[in-house]
Chain A
Amino acid sequence: MYKYYKKYVPYLFLLPAGVILVLFFFIPFFETIILSFFDYNSNIYNPMFVSLDNYLLLIKSPVFYKVLLNTFIYLFVAVPFLVIFPLIIAILINQKIKGITLYKILIYLPVIVSIVVAAIAFKWLYAQQGILNYVMALFHIPAVGWLTDPNVALYSVIIVTIWKGIGYYMMIYLSALMGVPKDLYEACDVDGADPVTKHLTVTLPHLMPTIGLVSTISSISAMKVFAEIYVMTKGGPLDSSKTIVYYIYERAFENLDLGVASAASVLLLVIVLVLSIINFVFFENKQYQL
């Protein structure tokens, strides 16, 4: 190609973004790994190299075991809902019906509103004498301690994450649905197929890459939940709703236990890395090719 720029010019253009990425991504990335080999607990001003002790501490810690379990429950409960619900809603909205725009706006609204406000709104629904327990009473179910019962709190928080994500993933499905060839549906109509068969044989196969994409990105976001837990339960009661990011936050900024917090961070890094690589290799490989 015809070169109209001097040799150093590309680097000038890259420099500002490069400084930010190095300062706030690369250095912290390596520092997280390094910090995880040091003990800050005994003396925060004089950290000691302890090799893998922080990791051993985590493995032996019953709280961390619970945190990991909670994180994976979060993942395995939230993700299926976030993959399936938005797909069904997107298929329904994609029919030629009146009021599409209004439906989209209303269903997308939770995505836009601050997670803090959403969490407060649900806290109010979940109140002991709140409206949700009233509805339960209508069905003769005894009042539930939505955020106070250790067996329930985690699921109450998961519901907020699902509720807030539906509109977002619905829009991803909707833009994928626009790419399904219309004549395939027409062929189905000629054959007299019912709607369910139609979607199972035409829509689903075409949407497989999108379903994969939604699975991986919703898994990654499930790994990263924080605000819902912070606002609603602070990880309680009895650590029952504590997931890994909240644990890292607590260790790092409340207990100043930088080493253990970093060891847990490295674990989070590894999990997200694996999910991201799956995503790149299988679902988002076009956009990111040189």
Chain B
Amino acid sequence: MRNFKSISKGFFIHSTLIVVSLLSIFPFLWLLSTAMKGNTENIFQYPPVFFPEAPTLENFKGVWNQIPFMLYFFNSMVVAGFTVLLNLILSALAAYPLARMEFKGKKTVFYATLATIMIPFQAIMLPVYLIVLKLNMVDSVNSVMGYLGLILPFAVNAFGIFLMRQAFLAIPKEMEEAAFVDGCNVFQIWWKVLLPMVKPTLAVLAIFTFIGSWGEFLWPSIVLTKKALYTLPVGVNDLQGMFSANWRFIAAGSIISTIPILVFFIAMQRYFISGENDGAVKG
């Protein structure tokens, strides 16, 4: 009896999770299926056919030849790469005094930083755009300024600062004092003693900042005017306009654009699904 119960319980759990998993990936699979159907196969066929009759890579080749995916990939790498680097450095710098030092105005700095968490970017994007314009950080000036305009508004945020501060708080104070006695100055203490001890937190911050920056769509679609600086999400959205009714190409292009982040996810999966990244929760 007990055995029967646990088998039926297991069956229920697995079948539910299989259905949920399939629902999670089906939209992508259907896109992939469409991308692999040749010109002779009707993609609006009733009933729909999941496995292409004659699977082909023609659509991938076709869209690859018309869309500069490598350029979009490069732009996304530059933007996400520098955004991550700046977030790590600036968050770790600002978190150190907030966790470890006493200074005038600490309370004010702390609560002012906290307040920025409550300001949604979407509500202030217009003045941010005006400021970026005033600083000439747009792609019409040159590509370096264009990149700066994409990167700097997201160079640091309060989540990162508080995440690093929590990590520093967990380090025993004796570490710094010992390093000072050994002749380290305050910058060396930060760089050589504290930073190596918070590497796991830096990794979490890096990975989640990367994902956020890589998928960002609203801001680049506001500031970018030139295709030469398009990041992948903007480039992919552009597919719709270029191949209005050619769903084979739109599907193939969307799949191509997803490959880099998929590889990244599989390589870093333990950071995403280990369930130990409490602090990395973002609103």
Q: Are A172's CB and B281's CB within 8 A?
A: yes
Residues of A near B269 (CB, < 8 A) are: 101, 105
- On chain A, the residues within 8 Å of B217 by CB distance are 114-116, 226-227, 230
Q: Which of A25-45 contact B (CB under 8 A)?
A: 25-29, 31-32, 35
Within 8 A of A (CB), among B124-181: 124-131, 152-153, 155-156, 158, 161-162, 166, 173, 176-177, 180
The A/B interface has a contact count, at CB < 8 Å, of 280
Q: A10-B97, A131-B30 are in contact. Are A279 and B283 (CB under 8 A)?
A: yes
Decide yes or no whether A252 CB sits under 8 A from chain B: yes
Binds B, one of A1-9, A50-58, A61-69, A200-208: A1-9
A14 vs B110: C-alpha distance when bound (angstroms):
11
Question: Which residue from B10, B107, B215 sits with its C-beta under 8 Å from A114?
Answer: B215
B47 sits at the interface (CB 8 A) = yes
Contact B17 A287 (CB under 8 A): no
CB pair A97–B28 under 8 Å, yes or no, is no
Chain A 107-147 interface mask (CB, 8 Å, partner B; 1/0): 11111111111101110110101010010000000000000
For A18, the chain B residues whose CB sits under 8 A away are 94, 109
B56 contacts the other chain (CB 8 A):
no
A107 contacts B156, CB within 8 Å? no
Residue A262 CB within 8 A of the other chain: yes
* A18-B258 Cα distance, complex, nearest whole Å: 35
Q: Interface with B: A75-83, A150-158, A180-188, A264-272, which one?
A: A264-272
Q: Does A163 lie within 8 Å of B23, measured CB to CB?
A: yes
Are the C-beta atoms of A114 and B233 separated by less than 8 Å?
yes
Structural contact, A92 and B17, CB atoms closer than 8 A: yes
Q: How far is the CB of B164 from chain A (nearest CB, A)?
A: 10
Q: How far is the CB of B147 from chain A (nearest CB, A)?
A: 16
A24 touches B126 (CB 8 A): no
Closest residue of chain A to B218 (Cβ to Cβ) is: A226
Q: Closest residue of chain B to A270, judged by CB?
A: B123
Q: Are B91 and A17 in contact (CB under 8 A)?
A: yes
The contact size tier of chain B is 35 or more
Q: Is there an interface contact between B90 and A265, defined as CB atoms closer than 8 Å? A: no
Q: Is the interface of A mostly helix, strand, loop or mixed?
A: helix
Distance A216 CA – B118 CA, assembled complex (angstroms):
12
Q: Are A25 and B120 in contact (CB under 8 A)?
A: no
Give the distance in Å from the alpha carbon of A105 to the alpha carbon of B25 in the complex. Answer: 10
**Chain A: minimal CB distance from B269 (Å):** 6
Q: Chain B: which residue is nearest A122 at the CB level?
A: B27
Distance A172 CA – B6 CA, assembled complex (angstroms): 27
Whole-angstrom CA separation of A101 from B118 in the bound complex:
34
Contact with A along B86-113 (1 / 0, CB 8 A): 0001110110111001110011011011
A73 proximal to B (CB < 8 A): no
Which listed residue, B25, B161, B283, touches A220 by the CB 8 Å rule?
Answer: B283
Judged by a CB distance under 8 angstroms, whether A193 is at the interface is: no
Residue of B nearest to A276 (CB): B118
Bound CA span A18–B106, Å = 13
The complex places the Cα of A11 from the Cα of B258 at a distance, in Å, of 42
**CB-defined contacts of A6 to chain B, threshold 8 Å:** 186
Please tell me if B51 contacts chain A, counting CB pairs below 8 Å: no
Q: Mark A209-247, 1 if CB is under 8 A from B, else 0.
A: 000010011001101101100110000000000000100
- Shortest C-beta distance, B227 to chain A (Å), equals 16
Nearest Cβ on chain A to B143's Cβ, whole angstroms: 21
Q: Does B262 contact A (CB under 8 A)?
A: yes
Measured CB to CB, the closest approach of chain A to B256, in angstroms, equals 10
Residues of B within 8 A of A277 (CB): 118
Q: Are A16's CB and B93's CB within 8 A?
A: yes
- Chain A residues closer than 8 Å to B24, beta-carbon distance: 106-107, 109-110, 163, 166-167
Picked from A9, A32, A269, A273, the residue with its CB within 8 Å of the CB of B126 is A32
Q: How far is the CB of A23 from chain B (nearest CB, A)?
A: 6
A48, CB-defined interface residue at 8 Å: no
Which residues of the partner chain B approach A174 to less than 8 Å between Cβ atoms?
Answer: 275
- Which residues of the partner chain B approach A9 to less than 8 Å between Cβ atoms? 97, 101, 186
Known A1-B173, A14-B97: A93·B17 in contact at CB below 8 Å:
yes
| B75 proximal to A (CB < 8 A) | no
Q: Mark each residue of chain B from 186 to 211: 1 if its CB lies under 8 Å from any CB of chain A, else 0.
A: 10011000000000000000000001
A249 to chain B: which residues have CB within 8 Å?
125, 218, 222
Query: Which of chain B's residues have a CB closer than 8 A to the CB of A17?
Result: 90-91, 93-94, 156, 161
Query: Chain A: residues with CB nearer than 8 A to chain B?
Result: 1-7, 9-11, 13-14, 16-18, 20-21, 23-29, 31-32, 35, 89, 92-93, 95, 97, 99, 101-118, 120-122, 124-125, 127, 129, 131, 134, 163, 166-167, 171-172, 174-175, 178, 195, 213, 216-217, 220-221, 223-224, 226-227, 230-231, 245, 248-249, 252-253, 258, 261-262, 265-266, 268-269, 272-273, 276-277, 279-280, 287-288, 290
- Minimum-distance CB pairs A-B, first 3: A10-B97, A28-B127, A17-B94
Can you name 14 A-B residue pairings with CB atoms under 8 Å?
A4-B176, A7-B103, A16-B89, A17-B90, A17-B91, A32-B124, A114-B236, A114-B261, A116-B233, A167-B24, A175-B277, A265-B122, A266-B123, A288-B162
Q: A116-B217, A116-B234 are in contact. List 11 more A-B contacts (CB 8 A).
A: A20-B90, A32-B127, A99-B14, A117-B254, A120-B251, A124-B27, A166-B24, A223-B120, A252-B125, A268-B120, A269-B124
